[in-house]
Amino acid sequence: MKIRYPIIVEGKYDKIKLSSLFEATIITTDGFSVFNHEEKLSLIRKLAEKGKIILLTDSDGAGHLIRSYIKRAVSADKIINLYTPRIEGKEKRKREASREGFLGVEGIEADSLIKLLEPFSCDACEKENSDPITKADLYAYGLSGKSDSSTLRANLLRSLELPENMSANAMLSAINILYSKKEIEKQLSYIQ
């Protein structure tokens, strides 16, 4: 199922779980790291400028703090707040339950997550970006597969005010949401 809006989650295991169920842009806050990394918050703001974002944090105190922080940084009309059910238990990968004893996004059953996100699917709608940038384009632009690709990628990301340490795949996903192919080509002409 393809989800129309980017999904903001807390950690990499939440992202892995959602990626196994949905085709979506999924951004992690890396837990509380979002409080200290302006680049990550800047990416979330940019995504929200282009359209809505789905905010899906755990239903515990930590999830509430992260959600509150993002809600203060992004206009309320741009946020779709989704909440996981408060189910007692522990994630399979952990030795013991969280301090509050509730499952996080990664521990919630697939059926519950599908039901939660189904209203935001775009299986029936057309892809908004009709000419997306591909991995082949990244190579042609020199953004991947070449000795100076990481430097060029960092320069492009800096010029777009996106986190400079994004991988090529993460960058591809973000720029296809935020920019057209022509806009990226124009920006590359400025920095090369």
Contact 52, 79 (CB under 8 A): yes
User: 67 phi and psi, to 5 degrees?
Assistant: -60, -45
Q: Just give the CATH number of 7-120.
A: 3.40.1360.10
Q: What is the CA 67 to chain-centroid distance, rounded? A: 14
Kindly indicate the confidence band of residue 188, based on its pLDDT and cuts at 50, 70 and 90. Answer: very high
Q: How far apart are CA 13 and CA 114, in angstroms?
A: 17
Supply 24's token pair.
């979506």
Domain boundaries, given as residue ranges, for the chain: 7-120, 135-191
Question: Considering the entire predicted model, what is its pTM?
Answer: 0.70
- Per DSSP bridges, beta strands 7-9 and 53-57 are parallel
Contact 46, 161 (CB under 8 A): yes
Between 163 and 102, the more confident residue is 102
User: Which of 178, 139, 168 minimizes the C-alpha distance to 43?
Assistant: 178
- Per DSSP bridges, beta strands 26-28 and 7-9 are parallel
pLDDT tens by residue, 174-187:
787 778 899 899 99
pLDDT tens by residue, 157-166:
888 877 676 7
Q: Is the pLDDT of residue 124 over 80?
A: no
